Structure 1
Amino acid sequence: MHKKTRLGLVLSAAVAPIIAVTLPAPTAGAHGWINSPASRQDQCKTGVVSCGDIKWEPQSVEGPKGQNNCHGGVGRFAELNDDSKGWQRSNISANQTFTWTLTARHRTSTWQYFVGNTKVAEFNDGGAQPGATVSHNVNFGSIRGNQKVLAVWNVFDTANAFYACVDVNIR
């Protein structure tokens, strides 16, 4: 092998790792779902309800902000909108703690909780980066009975949010 060719290969091999380390890392996407009380994603993940892809990706229900559905507009997770799928209801009190599991933390504007078209709670994080779990105590006021709670995690620095639905019986 020619000396210049060999020198070029050696230099390339030495410089490539340095370049790779100094390049900016891609930004981690925000991912999360409610695991307590068990959301529809969590019921899929744990096998309580038979589901498709969401079983492997409970954290991936991400879509544009402002939606009012369980699947965040992600077509392959549309089964999360199917109210007849056999979702188990959790018996909860009018003051209930909801806990999110976050697999990738991302700066947060707000966390919102809805029953139907009524926003029952909002928590403003003002752009703070959450920890690996986040809990909120939601007061449902006079709302009682079988309800579907839509929880929304609004990301601070993107146009997206994460969505989770929780089937509950508020006592």
Structure 2
Amino acid sequence: MRKKITAAATCLAAGAAALLFTGGPAQGHGYSQDPMSRQAYCANGQVTGCGPIQWEPQSVEGPKGFPEQGPADGKICAGGNEGFHQLDDPRDGNWPTTDVKAGQDFTFQWTLTARHATTDFSYYITKDGWDPSKPLTRADLEPEPFLTVPMNGQQPPAQWTAQGTLPEGKQGRHLILGVWTIDDTANAFYSCADVTF
């Protein structure tokens, strides 16, 4: 009997340690796959030197309420998480980009590893003249999202997609910030995607 109890206690302790070291299942949530986000490039190995985000692309969670609230300027792409600061590093403007066309219809996609009741998905884009060699700030973004998909508290599927139209008149390199706002928590998920029009 004592051996069974000891074995059970050992298994529980190992399980608890695994949760501590892996961050546990509660840390898995979601990130943009199309346009391809910085964390997705890190996770698939196309970009190196990413730190822990390469194993946790779904975990860029920060306070909701963007742009009035949320992560501080310069820390937006990492959702304000110091552990993911590599996402805020502009890499001298050398992040890989997704090729897009101004005014084109586009299928936006997120991979969700934990599905939450959702307020909406919103997409912001940088202003003309944005400097891709500097960390992203609110002043770099157009003041209103070019696309907002209301979810009214519904839970999206694991592979969420929505049709939208990219802004007219954009040229060259830009950044699209996707914000997935959770309905029943104080947080949102942030995903920066570099694009070339």
Equivalent-residue separation in structure 2 for 1:120 and 1:139 (angstroms): 8
1:140 CA drift (Å): 2.4
More moved, 153-162 vs 132-141: 132-141
Where 1:122 maps in the other structure, the secondary structure is: strand
Query: Highest CA radius of gyration, 1 or 2?
Result: 1
Which of the residues 144, 165, 171 maps onto 2:192? Answer: 165
Question: How many percent of aligned residue pairs carry the same amino acid?
Answer: 40
Give unpaired runs (5+ residues) of structure 2. 2-7, 9-24, 126-140
Equivalent-residue separation in structure 2 for 1:109 and 1:47 (angstroms): 31
Equivalent-residue separation in structure 2 for 1:143 and 1:71 (angstroms): 28
- Determine if contact 1:72/1:162 at 8 Å carries over to the other structure: yes
Distance 1:87 1:114, change over 3 A: same
Distance 1:31 1:91, change over 3 A: same
- Determine if contact 1:29/1:106 at 8 Å carries over to the other structure: no
Equivalent-residue separation in structure 1 for 2:27 and 2:90 (angstroms): 29
- 1:54 corresponds to which residue? 53
Equivalent-residue separation in structure 1 for 2:169 and 2:32 (angstroms): 20
Q: Which amino acid aligns with 2:186?
A: A
Q: Which amino acid aligns with 2:100?
A: I
The answer to whether 1:70 aligns with 2:77 is yes
1:36 CA drift (Å): 2.1
Cα distance per residue 1:72-131 (max 9 Å; x no partner): 110111111111263101101332212100001010001000011331110100000111
Which of the residues 126, 131, 149 maps onto 2:157? Answer: 131
Give unpaired runs (5+ residues) of structure 1. 1-5, 7-12, 14-26
Distance 1:75 1:29, change over 3 A: closer
- 1:91 corresponds to which residue? 99
- 2:134 corresponds to which residue? none
- Determine if contact 2:27/2:59 at 8 Å carries over to the other structure: no
Equivalent-residue separation in structure 1 for 2:164 and 2:157 (angstroms): 19
Instruction: Determine which structure has the larger strand proportion and give its number.
Output: 1
- 2:37 corresponds to which residue? 39
RMSD: 2.2
Cα distance per residue 1:48-78 (max 9 Å; x no partner): 1111100000000000012361111101111
Equivalent-residue separation in structure 2 for 1:28 and 1:84 (angstroms): 30
The answer to whether 1:102 aligns with 2:112 is yes
